[in-house]
Structure 1
Amino acid sequence: MSGTPPAGTITLAGKTVSRLGLGTMRLTGPGTWGDPPDRAQALDVLRQAVHTHGITHIDTAHAYGPHTVERLIKDALHPYPEDLLIATKVGLEAWPAPYKWTPNGDPAYLRNSVEGSLCRLGVERLELCYLHRIDPRFPLAEQVGTLKSLQSEGKIGHIGLSKVSTADYQEASKDVAVAAVQNVLNIHDRYDPVQELCRDEGIPYVPYRPLDAGSAARDGALATALAWLLQLGPHIAPIPGTSNPQHLADIVRAATDGGAP
């Protein structure tokens, strides 16, 4: 692996990784469904992120494609560098035509999703596995309890939460040690009380949509948007996404210029 970690490092799921991660939802096809229109370019983005730019935190999900991106990650990067953290998410079911996501917290579905992610990524353990969405049809304790059981079996290393409120976090943390929280936060959507809670608890906060689905870049505020996030504290680890190698290079340069401690 080459390159200096953009914007410094953070301890996430027991590993020291780059504070700037790579979100991978945009590597799927049109409408975030199916294979990418240019598979070779998608593989190139993943390889450049890790081997050229020094990004050691890749974020993905069972639902991206669905399954497509986890397979791309394996094809691009396996066998994985020792210092690479691949985080994935389960608990969101993808439906085509029209594309939509539906929370599914059925314990059997969560278990099957973890087993599938293990196979697609080619690993024996998911080092960081988020509950992608809370399903209101099932008690939260049952959903995180399923992940905790899989953790006890050695199939999950650390458990995270995604798109949660402070009340959700507090309820889940009664049953599991929450390793990270992933919520929306960006220069256009600036307040999330969970970010402050994570800061106070010393837990990594992983903003998704850190560039507001690209609108910050279109506004010419790429460096400003990333610098604003990173200055919130050392617990912040944004995961901007792209399917374009040049855009990836622009993101890394902006984060390096504006976020290094």
Structure 2
Amino acid sequence: MITRRMGHAGPQVSAIGLGCMGMSDFYEGRDENEAIATLHHALDCGLNLLDTADMYGPYTNETLIGRAIRGRRADAFIATKFGILRGADPTQRGTDGRPEHVRASVEGSLQRLGVDYLDLYYLHRVDPDVPIEDTVGAMADLVRQGKVRLLGLSEASAETLARAHAVHPISALQSEYSLWTRDPETNGTLAICRELGVTFVPYSPLGRGFLTGTFASRDDLAEGDYRLSTPRFQQGNFERNLRLVEGVRELARAREVTPAQLALAWVLAQGDNIVPIPGTKRRRYLDENLEALTLTLSPAELARLDELFQRNSVAGQRYPSAVMGMLER
């Protein structure tokens, strides 16, 4: 397994991780037995970075991973998150970064995962009502207590990351990044990660599956799939974005690889401090994703992808408006 370092002086992890959210939440077609088999297969292949959060389910995804890694704790690098509060409406969410919530949340995650410590603990979203210094200060206490090894933030701004890093070293910043979400290139987060020695962990590096080239219409998504409620999958936006993906398909055909492998190879090529976590629920897609590690894109191919996916090329926001306000705080 090709590896990359987690944080400035942290351990080596697999250069591609596994986003586990879809095994328990948001996407349809879930199969718990296949999910467990996929997690076991990942560990067998040397993929050790498993990414979850307490809000996936909520709570059930951590329990699932706990079952899968039982007896194999040493093989897994477990990253989980806290700080998002969910209600009945999946488009409405809150945040809680209070120190007391930090302390309560880690105990719940440790119990559900069945472990004594977490390898990486993220603040899932920044709470605007709590100074980041207070939240990270409480997270740093968990490191001193041996409950957490490394700290991370998710969807934080460059300024917030710098403030947090001054309290305690931040090893990872997780934010959405892919061909069709290139905000980290212009909002300063990629640059400050390089400056501070923070590993950048892109989630949704395949554009929530859109960049795999498997969708021809909205009808290809099952009823109840969360993506149908997001702007980029809305009628009109969907068709415009589909034309962009055709360019990825053409390049992939020329290289005799899949569009997913091409899109992942592009993310990996953006820096050796980048560790994407594509999500999948099935072993065959896991194997497909791992093959991207062997794919090197030429300067001409990288330039063509840059030409296709300029900042304003993609139609629609990343999330519904109510959720967009939680990003880059």
Q: Taking structure 1 as the reference length, what is the TM-score of the superposition?
A: 0.89
Of residues 35, 38, 55, the one that matches 1:42 is: 35
Distance (whole Å) between structure 1 residues aligned to residue 83 and residue 129 of structure 2: 12
> CA 1:106–1:251 in structure 2 vs 1: closer, same or farther (change >3 Å)?
same
8 Å contact kept, 1:223–1:258: no
Alpha-carbon offset, residue 258 of structure 1: 4.1
Which position in structure 1 is the counterpart of 2:197? 202
Structure 1 contact 61–90 (Cα < 8 Å) conserved: yes
Cα distance in 1 between the residues matched to 2:265 and 2:212: 13
RMSD, matched Cα = 1.9
> CA deviation digits over 1:178-230, x for unaligned, max 9?
11111111011224121122123222111111111111112442122111111
What is the match of residue 164 of structure 1?
156
AA aligned opposite 2:111:
C
The amino acid that maps onto 1:210 is P
1:24 aligns with 2:20: yes
CA contact (8 A) 2:43 2:75 kept: no
Equivalent of 1:129 in 121, 134, 137: 121
Determine the structure 2 residue equivalent to 1:10: 4
4+ long deviations beyond 6 Å: none
> How big is the shift at 1:150?
1.6
Check conservation: 1:23, 1:60, Cα contact below 8 A: yes
Letter in 1 for 2:128: P
- 1:98 Cα deviation after fit: 4.3
List alignment gaps of at least 5 residues for structure 1: none
How far is 1:32 from its partner?
5.8
| Letter of the structure 1 residue corresponding to residue 170 of structure 2 | V
Aligned with 2:176: secondary structure? coil
Q: Distance in 1 between matches of 2:27 and 2:84?
A: 14
| Selected match of 1:213 from 208, 222, 236 | 208
Selected match of 1:182 from 152, 155, 174:
174
The 5 A counterparts of 1:75-154 are 75-98=67-90, 100-154=92-146
Q: TM-score, normalised by structure 2?
A: 0.71
| Aligned amino acid, residue 215 of structure 1 | F
Residues 224 and 258 in structure 1, CA contact (< 8 A), matched pair in contact too: no
Q: Which residue identity lines up with residue 207 of structure 1 in the other structure?
A: P
The structure with the largest helix share of the pair is 2
Which of 218, 222, 237 is equivalent to 2:275? 237
Identical positions, percent: 36
Distance 2:62 2:140 in 1: 22
Amino acid at match of 1:239: I
Does the 8 Å contact 1:47/1:76 carry over to 2?
A: yes
Q: 1:235: how far off?
A: 0.3
How far the C-alpha of 1:254 sits from its partner, in A, is: 2.7
